[in-house]
Amino acid sequence: MLYFCCVSTRRASSQCLNQAGRFIIDCIMKVSFSKIYILPHDLILLLKQRGLIIPNEQRAINYLSNIGYFRLSAYLYPLLKEPKTDHLFKDDATFDLALDMYRFDHNTQTPIRLHG
């Protein structure tokens, strides 16, 4: 048996999942994104406007291009002033500090390889 299902509603999805056989998704839920992509150079300018100290912009651009802002943003969050919704950094907040936290976390999550 072949079933055509629409996942735009829970009812249609649950009906499909309760049936036996193969499934083909008939329609795809549309996802709209509220945030636009910001180039790493422009992101550096924004972070500096918000008070983050970035001594070497080119180095920061390289890290943002390789690591990505989404992943690095978790390590920038503790550096924000209260209330955090203002998105302003503490006076001593630096890009290097966020990067150090990222590296520490990354190194502790990397599996330890034993030689022997």
CA distance 85 to 78: 12
Rounded Cα distance between 53 and 89, Å, is: 9
Identify which of 78, 99, 102 has the alpha carbon closest to the alpha carbon of residue 90.
78
What's the whole-number mean pLDDT along residues 74-97? 97
- What global pTM score does this model have? 0.67
- In angstroms, the CA 76 to CA 95 distance is 8
- Tokens 């990397």 belong to which residue? 110
pLDDT band of 104, cuts 50, 70, 90: very high
Q: Where are the domains of the chain?
A: 1-32, 40-109
Q: Any idea how long the chain is? A: 116
> Where in the chain does DSSP place strands (E)?
2-6, 22-27
In 3D space, the residue among 59, 54, 61 whose CA is nearest the CA of residue 94 turns out to be: 54
Q: Can you tell me the distance from the alpha carbon of 47 to that of 105, in angstroms, rounded to the nearest whole number? A: 22
Q: Say if residue 75's pLDDT is above 50.
A: yes
Model pLDDT for residues 21-58, shown as the tens digit of each residue: 444 444 445 667 787 889 999 999 999 999 999 999 99
